[in-house]
Amino acid sequence: MATDFLAEIVDERTARNPGFPHLVAQAAARRTVARKLAKLREKKALSQTVVAARMGTSASVVSKLEAGGDVRVSTLQRYCAAIGEKLAFAL
C-alpha cells in the first residue's frame, strides 16, 4: 500500500525532529479554531476589513488568523471582541 505525499513529508520531518507530529497536530487545531471563527464572522455578515478596523489592525492580520496562523492570545481576544464574542479556554 503506497503512502501519500503528505505522509511521506511527515515521516521525513519526524525522522529529523521527533516532535514534528506534535507541531502538525497543533497547526491542525489552530486551523479548526480559525475555521470556526471565520464562520462566526460570516454568520454575522462582517467582512475581514470591518473586523480588522474594529481590532485596530490590518485585514492581513485577520486573514492570517482565519488561515490558522500562529497568533497571540491577545489577538484572538481582540478578534472575538470585534465579532461580538468572548474568548474562553477549557483545559
pLDDT tens for each residue of the chain, 91 residues long? 556 888 899 899 999 999 999 999 999 999 999 999 999 999 999 999 999 999 999 999 999 999 999 999 999 999 999 999 999 998 8
What's residue 23's pLDDT?
92
Looking at the domain assignment, is residue 48 inside a domain? yes
Looking at the domain assignment, is residue 87 inside a domain? no
What's residue 6's pLDDT?
83
Residue with cell 506534535: 22
In a 3-state reduction of DSSP, which class is residue 41? helix
CA angle at 74 for the pair 70 and 79, rounded to the nearest 5°: 85
What's residue 67's pLDDT?
95
What's residue 84's pLDDT?
97
Looking at the domain assignment, is residue 88 inside a domain? no
What's residue 3's pLDDT?
66
C-alpha cell at 20: 514534528
CATH code of the domain covering residue 69: 1.10.260.40
Q: Which domain holds residue 45?
A: 5-82
Task: Assign residue 68 a region (left: φ > 0; alpha: ψ between -120 and 50; beta: otherwise).
Answer: left
Looking at the domain assignment, is residue 91 inside a domain? no
Return d(Cα 26, Cα 3) in angstroms, integer.
22
Domain count, the chain: 1
